[in-house]
Amino acid sequence: MHVYSHSPFKLGGRVTMEFSAKHRARDVAPGTDDDGTVFAVESGTVAGIEGGMGPNGDHANMVIVRGSDQMLTIYGHVSPSVRAGAAIDEGDEIGDVDLSGDSTARHVHLARLPGGDGTVDDVLDLDRQAKGVTFQFKTLQPW
């Protein structure tokens, strides 16, 4: 099982929805004093971004990062501040949490998906098929 060192929020966060058969991701809400800036949970290359509803009504705005292991980390409900192709390090700012898509409260839909081609359509297809793989956080405490 993969373990991320930190929450996507500098001031910590809390898991508001766990993995299930249909929800192969963890939803992480920012801490009370957090401004909602989202930070990369691992290094990689931005494989794609979706800046609007597009074909996707679930996670709407999202950032897709390909790690060195070729796995994709998906940050759903995030207004991107990075561009496709950008190299990022763990802890780099990648965007701001938003209420885009099918969201009723501020959170990041964080999923880890097997390779694929990294396009938004491919990622959505993998996510809808519940192909996400489990992961944990070493800590959700402030960085």
> What pLDDT digit, counting tens, does each position of 68-117 carry?
888 888 898 899 999 999 999 999 999 999 887 777 788 898 888 877 66
- The pLDDT value recorded for residue 53 is 47
- Enumerate residues 6+ apart whose C-beta is below 8 A from 19: 25, 26, 132, 134
Q: How far apart are CA 82 and CA 21, in angstroms?
A: 31
* pLDDT in the model for residue 80: 92
Q: Taking a C-beta distance cutoff of 8 angstroms, is the pair 14, 36 a contact? A: no
Structure confidence at residue 61 (pLDDT):
86
Residue 5, φ and ψ in degrees, nearest 5: -70, -35
DSSP string, 2-67: EEESS-SSTT--EEEE---SS--SEEEEPPTT---EEE-SS-EEEEEEE-S-TT-SSS-SEEEEE-
Q: Chain-centre distance of CA 3, in angstroms? A: 14
For 26, 57, 101, 126, the CA distances from 133, given in Å and listed in that order, are: 11, 22, 22, 11
pLDDT at residue 54, as a whole number: 44
- Tell me the per-residue pLDDT of 14-57, one tens digit each, with 9 for 90 and over: 888 887 777 777 888 887 778 889 999 889 999 888 765 444 45
**134 pLDDT higher than 80:** no
More confident residue, 128 or 54: 128
Q: What is the pTM of this model?
A: 0.81
For position 14, what pLDDT does the model report? 83
